[in-house]
A and B are shown apart, each in its own frame.
Chain A
């Protein structure tokens, strides 16, 4: 039984680690209603500044903490001033996307400065251990717990009893009213970003010391776990974030205890989904809190879409269709094949996120379901590849809709977080369900694409096939959006209360959208499986989901042509910058930031 004590202690320790990130996220969410995807990158920056201080400058611990906090705060202020403040009056999704772009830029800058090799960040505390249960606790564990709890407590006091704290709370409840009452909202935002960044930086340093290891890939995981912990606790609620983190740590630890290590993250994300389904605003959302943002007009940019005349579209389609007859290299064709596959995924997402207003950060899961279904159908049941791909689409439609349906009652950013979790869950189920998915070994030897007995293996034939499939899906979707059904979809997006008042059954319409969208994404995944001949659980990951969302926003939410243009642009940009080697993701991040800054409604605008 003593083991349970150990699992509990371990859960609390790792929960403390999560809390360090979650508190910063909660603060920013509280004021800006923004999930700051750059928080993990600030944590990364803090870890490396800590490394410079400890290893190069040999600063003592208190000084290290001050240096890291100050430097990270400066980074936070810069982000707020130059990255986010200019977006204040643009759509809600713009700052979210900007934080993703900022995280690309920060991660790459750190990687270029320090090289991607992991480094040791020695702990500056004496290495004594106290026996607790069957395990031990060291001073650093206590320091992390202390920093987590103290910062939560200080923030609580600050928000409740200081004047600036009142201003922060006022601004978070009603920004416009606060401004009218004379609150300098910019100053509030600045203070919040500075504090959150200082916390984030210190937490990166402490966690680095805790593991004696820092590397440039640590930011995404930190963000993911931090977001889960924060949302479980109730977004924007600082003490809630701490409790959510501890709970997350405990659930993971008990999950390992009962089911084994490979199930650890599965339980983390299941916890999130369960909490969201039972308590859509997190465990500690106060009843008096303003209701979360409905995804209405504030979310969608008030823009006039760029109408591209039909003849121009037809010309473009014909141009792309006859492209392989011209002397273009296979590399260009392959790049465009990737663009068409991403285009199908973007069509799916633009329908779900753009037209119905259900932002999904887990769309890669639909690709994975389609890919595995199609691969397994053709391999184990010898279903012809053409039919298997369709089967993949149908399975994605069915399973995807089923998985996502519990989140239909969620609002605002909670939908995106729930879908993020579902994406992770699908990936982890694929990893662990070995009897069907072959687990980590993945599926190899998937037969190539074929149609009516002809193998499509030359780049041109794959190009035509994927282009044709995407075009058909796009035309279908265009038709759908122009119909009565499409108008109902948009009504739900623009004002779901009004839509319900008119008698629209929200869940049914959302399901319909996911069925159509799931099919398109599943087909894309199926084609990819046959194109690659090998897939495993990492082939379709969170980064794909983020990429898809970027494409959709870049093209213009709900805009069918925009989704395709966005896919071509975002597949093409990194290829164009390929010569820039290590710098290309940096450039990509900056381009993304500039686009968000100057064209937040997307290239072609929202329909």
Chain B
């Protein structure tokens, strides 16, 4: 680091401390104030729905954490800043968080551009950026303060490929994927694994997030004559594709990535998603106590609402953050170290979660083979559809 930088950094951190002291009393009243996490995510704009889902998951986890006595007697709380998942705003939020000494850990952002634009700021300031929806392969390469519980697609996609090719015996596949960093990476992992298992990839089609009409795409799929359709989609576009596939007369087996796992998928897809196979990280009938506690707690708190995958990511992320803060205390560096020490945290998605210190990601996603039967997700009974 050059001289200029060191000088400005020292000056800057002095300024930051003054600013921090000015608008947060926590500097004076350490013990009674809650331990504060920063959240950078979308509350408005095109991705607003995901921020709303995060909040539901966070709030449920926090209720349970406070009920269990908080973190060594202190409450845990978060400050949610709306970034609209826009990199300009996420960098400003990053500066806001790093210069507020009360913030001990940061969660988010939602999309890769917004998250990774802010990474250099968190990295230099030494504040952990804990991205739990960041499956971009380079997210955790941003520095040793970038950690993620977003399941590496390298882990998940081969499981889906195995479901489709080995279990459902689909030999010729058409892959439709969201043409984003996530969809693209997932597609590559999926295609490689599927080929390894002996399947042929007849066609792959990438579509942009705003797409609503898939009829022409599905004609291409039909002409490729596959015996199975693989959707690497979110629940809203996944439901659209399934509906339109049935409308244009495609009767092939549909198999979708875990990201469609949402009651909304059933609601939006209606009858068209009947018999769709979903490889997922968790399912409501999973007898594990973490899962049952999450689902019953969620329904109780939100008037019978069924949780979905994004709710679960946020819930797990908050619990993971609590576990880390329990070990690391309120010191940012110690929290960074705590990520390397934290072990076997109970979680909905992973069973018990432990970070792989080399990749700074969690390994070992659970995979349940589900199928939609009578409008509900159910464990697949092994019978062909």
Using a CB–CB distance below 8 Å, which chain A residues touch chain B?
3, 6-7, 10-11, 13-14, 17, 108, 111, 115-120, 122, 129, 131, 134-136, 138, 207, 211-213, 215-218, 220-221, 252-253, 256-257, 260-262, 264-265, 324-331, 333-335, 338, 341, 431, 439-442, 444-445, 448, 454-455, 457-461, 531-536, 538-539, 543, 571, 574-575, 578, 581-582, 584-585
A440 to chain B: which residues have CB within 8 Å?
Answer: 179-181, 183-184, 206
Number of A-B residue pairs with CB-CB distance less than 8 Å in the complex they form: 257
CB of B334 within 8 Å of the partner chain: no
Give 5 closest A-B pairs by Cβ, nearest first: A532-B117, A534-B116, A116-B48, A329-B19, A334-B95
Known: A11-B216, A584-B44. 9 other contacts (CB 8 A): A10-B219, A115-B49, A117-B264, A134-B219, A211-B240, A256-B217, A265-B208, A444-B142, A460-B8
The reply to whether A328 and B113 contact each other, CB–CB distance below 8 Å, is no
Residues of A within 8 A of B352 (CB): none
* A534 lies within 8 A of B12 (CB): no
Asked if B92 contacts A329 (CB within 8 A), the reply is: no
Give chain B nearest CB distance to A376 CB in angstroms.
16
Please indicate the chain B residues that have their CB under 8 angstroms from the CB of A218 in the complex.
212
A142 to B179, CA, bound (A): 31
Of all chain B residues, the one with the shortest Cβ separation from A10 is: B215
| A326 smallest CB distance to B (angstroms) | 8
Which B residues are in CB contact (< 8 Å) with A211?
212, 240, 243
Q: In the complex, A329→B181 CA distance in Å?
A: 33
A331 and B138 contact, Cβ closer than 8 Å, known pairs A117-B52, A216-B48, A257-B220: no
A574 and chain B: residue at smallest CB distance? B89
Q: How far is the CB of A422 from chain B (nearest CB, A)?
A: 18
Please determine whether A215 and B116 come into contact, CB atoms closer than 8 angstroms. no
Q: Does B320 contact A (CB under 8 A)?
A: no
Minimal Cβ-Cβ distance residue in B for A448: B120
Most chain B CB atoms below 10 A, which of A108, A135, A329, A581: A329
For residue B142, which residues in chain A have a CB less than 8 angstroms away from its CB?
A: 444, 533-534
**Of all chain A residues, which has the CB nearest B272?**
A212
Asked whether B52 lies within 8 Å of A115 as measured between CB atoms, the reply is: yes
Complex alpha-carbon distance, A213 and B205, angstroms: 22
The answer to whether A581 touches B80 (Cβ under 8 A) is: yes
B184 touches A459 (CB 8 A): no
Within 8 A of A (CB), among B256-308: 264, 267-270
Interchain CB contact under 8 A, B95 and A333? yes
Give every chain B residue within 8 A of A326 (Cβ-Cβ): 15
Do B138 and A459 touch (CB < 8 A)? no
Minimal beta-carbon separation of B58 from chain A (angstroms): 14
A343 to B236, CA, bound (A): 37
Q: Is the CB of A213 within 8 A of B239?
A: yes
CB distance B222 to A117 under 8 Å? no
Judge whether B210 is part of the interface by a CB distance below 8 angstroms. Answer: yes
Which residue of chain B has the shortest Cβ distance to A532 in the bound complex? B117
- Cα(A181)–Cα(B141), bound, Å: 71
Q: How far is the CA of A470 from the CA of B77 in the complex (A)?
A: 40
Interface residues of B (CB under 8 A from A): 1-2, 4-5, 8-9, 11-12, 14-16, 18-20, 43-49, 51-53, 80-82, 84, 86-89, 91-92, 94-96, 98-99, 111-113, 116-117, 119-121, 124, 136-138, 141-142, 176, 179-181, 183-185, 205-208, 210-217, 219-220, 222-223, 236, 239-240, 243, 247-249, 264, 267-270
Q: Assuming A330-B99, A582-B82, A585-B44, is B52 touching A257 (CB within 8 A)? A: no
Residues of B within 8 A of A341 (CB): 88
Q: Are A334 and B205 in contact (CB under 8 A)?
A: no
> Smallest Cβ distance from B235 to chain A, in angstroms?
8
Which residues of the other chain, B, contact A11 by a CB distance below 8 angstroms? 216
Closest A residue by C-beta to B203: A260
- Bound CA span A455–B8, Å: 13
> Do B95 and A445 touch across chains, with their CB atoms under 8 A apart?
no
Contacts of B46 in A (CB 8 A): 217, 220
Knowing A458-B8, A538-B113 are in contact, say whether A13-B141 is a contact too (CB < 8 A).
no
A515 to B119, CA, bound (A): 34
Q: Is the CB of B44 within 8 A of A261?
A: no
Question: For residue B111, which residues in chain A have a CB less than 8 angstroms away from its CB?
Answer: 538
Q: Are B248 and A136 in contact (CB under 8 A)?
A: yes
Tell me the complex Cα distance, A455–B86, Å: 25
Tell me, rounded to whole Å, the shortest Cβ–Cβ distance linking B213 to chain A. 5
Partner of A534, one of B49, B80, B113: B113
How many angstroms between the C-alpha atoms of A3 and B215 in the bound complex?
Answer: 11
Out of A441, A571, A574, A582, which one reaches B185, CB within 8 Å? A441
Q: How far is the CA of A6 from the CA of B222 in the complex (A)?
A: 11
Question: In this complex, what residue of B is CB-closest to A265?
Answer: B208
**Residues A532 and B184 in contact, CB atoms below 8 Å apart:** no
B113 touches A581 (CB 8 A): no
Contact of A120 among B11, B184, B267 (CB under 8 A): B267
CB-based contact B82/A578 at 8 Å: yes
B219 touching A261 by the CB < 8 A rule? no
- From A256, which residue of chain B is reached at the shortest CB distance? B216
B219→A135 contact, CB < 8 A: yes
Quick one: which of A134, A257, A331 contacts B99, CB cutoff 8 A? A331
Given A260-B220, A331-B96, are A134 and B12 also a contact pair (CB < 8 Å)?
no
The distance in angstroms between the C-alpha atoms of A578 and B89, with both chains bound, is: 10
Nearest CB on A from B264, distance (A): 6
B121 partner residues in chain A, CB cutoff 8 A: 334
The distance from the CB of B242 to the nearest CB of chain A, in whole angstroms, is 11
Residue of B15, B112, B223, B249 contacting most chain A CB atoms (<10 Å): B15
Q: How far is the CA of A455 from the CA of B217 in the complex (A)?
A: 47
